[in-house]
Structure 1
Amino acid sequence: MGRIALVSGQASPLMAPSGLDAGSLNVYVAALSAALCGLGHDVVVYTRRTGPRAPSRVRTPAGYEVVHVLSGPPKELSEDEATVRVADFARSLRADWHRKRPDVVHAQGCLSGITAVLGAHDTQVPVVQTFHALAVPHREPTVERLLAQTAAHVVAVRTDEADDVVSMGIPRAKVSVIPHGVDLALFTPHGSVAPRDRTRRIVTVGRLLPHQGFDDLIVALSTLDHTELVIAGGSATGHLRGDAEVRRLRALARVRGVASRVAFTGHVRYHQLPALLRSADVVACTPRHGSFGVTALEAVACGVPVVVTAAVGLLDAVAHDQIGLRVPPQDPRALAEALNRLLTHTTRRALLVAAGRERVRARYSWDRIASEMAQVYTAALS
């Protein structure tokens, strides 16, 4: 494999993650690009220019190049505003690819897929598509179906996503499942640990949204003694004070008598996340639907056992009673029982952590992810 072009219009690998979501597209593109370079590939990432002073091209320390494409005004745009500029972006790609043709193009997200297909239209360069998130429920995925039909190959990040693509009429042989990876140099049991006061600590991570199931955790906490719950993540408004979801969760904590044992950290920088995870006795991931499961894997890589809901995405990441415990979504009683089981059984925690770390190292290293991706690129060329 020679030159690989990644199109990530709305998520630059040079930007910090916009939210406390380990599945952030920024992190994914940066880590995949670096790992591909580590395997000897020439990687160029194309993203929108969002600042007037951003250089046209940047060579990163990891070896990949970032091209800032001028597509509309050099500022952050909404998805609707960026959609209007797709043709401009595609023309820039086409011009660059005529000067130096890539061997394969990998589009990140639906909008980037449209841009990549238009840009590669007359170049005969195969396009590999990763959606990361398919159409919202109750909407016919017409655009996604057309992209999947046009693409040389589709890479799904979860098994259920692959099933959804196949349900669109795409041959199973044209679809691969390659999950998000884990930065095993950053997420490790060794390193700084965030300070703590209580005897036992549960940590949960995610945007402060109702579907995350943080209210279930607060209810479960009310049955656990000498335990604190730390909720790490930014709010929809960007500020904890005055946020409706924060008010709702704090009111629930007061009603349940655990207000003094529930702490909200707000947004935590990605490089500071390992220290917070290491400070926990258990990390809980309790979404009611849709999750990449990466936070759970990062916790396990840090040497911390996890309790997760049997939500889509986490089913792939966490095998029950092998690297963590799974409970039904929206079941605070089952959640409390699972948390108590790990909080009170040190030996069980140690066994899960040992098995989990081995699993994460074997399956979710970025070197492994990049190697599998390179095989997909080779197949797309043929």
Structure 2
Amino acid sequence: MRYARPASLRVALVSEHASPLADLGGPDAGGQNVYVAQLADHLARRGHDVTVYTRRDGPRLPAEVTTPGGVRVVHVPAGPAAQVPKDDLLAHMPEFGAFLARRWRSAPPDVVHAHFWMSGTAALAGARGLGVPVIQTYHALGTVKKRHQGTEDTSPAQRLAIEADIGRSCRRVLATCADEVAELAAMGVSPDRVSVVPCGVDPRHFAPVAGTARTGSGPRRLVAVGRLVRRKGFDRAIRALAEIPDAELLIAGGPPADLLFAEPEAERLLKAAEEHGVADRVTLLGAVPHDRMPALMSGADLVLSLPDYEPFGIVPIEAMACATPVVATAVGGHLDTVVDGVTGALVQAAPGGDRDLAATIRALLDDPARRARYGAAGRARVLRHYSWERVADGVARVYAAVHATPSLSGVLR
């Protein structure tokens, strides 16, 4: 189905901690950075005038950069010009919002799209009184994080209340999966104020790479990818490996390989591998360059994505784009992207399901014909639903709809 493209708009993307220019793999750099970068680029290709506002987190960063695709990236002076953990950034959002207000007073955008909850506070402050619609994408919800992390959650105490207020104050919430709509409803954000547009992947970059398939009698290869944080569930993969003696596990993510010795989560995972007797079959690769990731995924027999919770989860669709079947926990966006028994297998997220996880992996490793079917179906599903072109089309239609519908009050809170 083809849709008429909306007229060109002046679009402001607010992404306080996730710069589209950042190197991926750090503790606060991941899927949101990819989303903002790709969305901005694809909107610009459609003729929209796109500016991304992100916090200045380095003393040598210029005030403004224009990407090769024509996207302006503005480094907002809010707090120290240094790396600051995102959980500590709330105190600097008033300064961020004041900068936006000054910038937009004389040249307001047509639509503002805030990414992450703290960006929402700055975006609403910057747009106050201008009649400019603000759209919010949370990327992760504090209610879900608190439920799973409990006392280990380092988010500011005000997060849950602020997130709910943003959902009621912005013009529209743009969720990335169906599971998020239910979470928002529980927060008091009516589903009729929410649109669902998934995250995406570049199927030209993430595509099957010839010559990477395992040959000979070596171990079957399991690959897991993501930031080196506890919730990503790499330890579950290590425990499952203990019951799969003819397989190896490669874990990609975190700092460069030569700096892994200083990474606490890497140390924890290596210790777990020793405790379960699989240290000789677990390899921590560290950060893998973006251009090498398709070959890594294409060369895997299975890609494992086993987080305790996942707002969307780009890794499964990257693997599916490479025609590699996925074993994923049945959480968040995985429930939308991975079709159980068609493109891969969904397993329960609770640690008590480790034995079922190992059995699921073994069954797939022992059935190459089924893996091939799953891989082909995964690639086809990505092409139908998850290309960035599809995502940008969906987002642009939401922009056009809110821009064409005036606010009932004429002002934003």
Residues 20, 269 of structure 1: 8 Å contact kept: no
Residue among 228, 237, 251 paired with 1:208: 228
Residue among 84, 93, 104 paired with 1:86: 93
Question: Counterpart of 1:168?
Answer: 187
Residues 321, 382 of structure 2: 8 Å contact kept: yes
Structure 1 residues 105 and 200, CA, compared in 2 at 3 Å: closer, same or farther?
Answer: same
Question: Counterpart of 2:288?
Answer: 268
State the Cα distance separating 1:239 from its structure 2 match. Answer: 4.4
For 1:312, give the aligned amino acid: G
State the Cα distance separating 1:31 from its structure 2 match. Answer: 0.4
Question: Counterpart of 2:161?
Answer: 142
For 1:362, give the aligned amino acid: R
Residue among 325, 335, 359 paired with 2:357: 335
Note the 1:35-74 alignment, pairs <5 A: 35-74=42-81
How many residues are treated as equivalent by the alignment? 382
Q: Distance in 2 between matches of 1:277 and 1:250?
A: 22
Residue among 274, 277, 299 paired with 1:257: 277
For 1:153, give the aligned amino acid: R
Residues 21, 206 of structure 1: 8 Å contact kept: no
State the Cα distance separating 1:40 from its structure 2 match. Answer: 1.9
- State the secondary structure of the residue aligned to 2:146: coil
Q: Distance in 2 between matches of 1:214 and 1:80?
A: 23
For 1:24, give the aligned amino acid: G
Residue among 133, 140, 154 paired with 2:140: 133
Structure 1 residues 165 and 268, CA, compared in 2 at 3 Å: closer, same or farther?
Answer: same
For 2:189, give the aligned amino acid: I
State the Cα distance separating 1:117 from its structure 2 match. Answer: 0.5
Structure 1 residues 255 and 50, CA, compared in 2 at 3 Å: closer, same or farther?
Answer: closer
Q: Distance in 2 between matches of 1:210 and 1:199?
A: 26
* TM-score scaled by length of structure 1: 0.91
Residue among 344, 362, 371 paired with 2:366: 344
Question: Counterpart of 1:7?
Answer: 14
Residue among 225, 242, 249 paired with 1:222: 242
State the Cα distance separating 1:154 from its structure 2 match. Answer: 0.2
Residues 252, 284 of structure 2: 8 Å contact kept: yes
Structure 1 residues 344 and 105, CA, compared in 2 at 3 Å: closer, same or farther?
Answer: same
1:112 equivalent to 2:119? Answer yes
Deviations 1:276-297 (A, max 9, x none): 1122111111222235221011
Q: Which moved more, 1:13-22 or 1:293-302?
A: 13-22
Residues 239, 276 of structure 2: 8 Å contact kept: yes
Residue among 170, 174, 181 paired with 1:155: 174
State the Cα distance separating 1:375 from its structure 2 match. Answer: 1.1
Question: Counterpart of 2:110?
Answer: 103
State the Cα distance separating 1:167 from its structure 2 match. Answer: 1.9
State the Cα distance separating 1:342 from its structure 2 match. Answer: 1.9
State the Cα distance separating 1:28 from its structure 2 match. Answer: 1.0
For 1:82, give the aligned amino acid: L
Q: Distance in 1 between matches of 2:83 and 2:271?
A: 35
1:24 equivalent to 2:24? Answer no
- State the secondary structure of the residue aligned to 1:358: helix
Structure 1 residues 78 and 213, CA, compared in 2 at 3 Å: closer, same or farther?
Answer: closer
- The CA RMSD over aligned residues, in Å, is 2.6
1:372 equivalent to 2:394? Answer yes
Q: Which moved more, 1:355-364 or 1:272-281?
A: 272-281
Residue among 27, 41, 47 paired with 1:34: 41
Question: Counterpart of 1:315?
Answer: 335
- State the secondary structure of the residue aligned to 1:68: strand
Structure 1 residues 73 and 210, CA, compared in 2 at 3 Å: closer, same or farther?
Answer: closer
State the Cα distance separating 1:75 from its structure 2 match. Answer: 2.1
* TM-score scaled by length of structure 2: 0.85
State the Cα distance separating 1:180 from its structure 2 match. Answer: 1.3
Deviations 1:158-207 (A, max 9, x none): 22222121222222111012121112222111368499993311111123
Q: Distance in 2 between matches of 1:245 and 1:47?
A: 28
Question: Counterpart of 2:219?
Answer: 199
Question: Counterpart of 2:411?
Answer: none
- State the secondary structure of the residue aligned to 1:265: strand
1:283 equivalent to 2:299? Answer no
Note the 1:236-247 alignment, pairs <5 A: 239-241=259-261, 243-247=263-267
Q: Distance in 1 between matches of 2:309 and 2:207?
A: 28
Residues 209, 294 of structure 2: 8 Å contact kept: no
Contiguous gaps of at least 5 residues in structure 2: 1-6, 148-156, 406-413
Q: Which moved more, 1:212-221 or 1:176-185?
A: 212-221
State the Cα distance separating 1:98 from its structure 2 match. Answer: 2.4
For 2:161, give the aligned amino acid: T
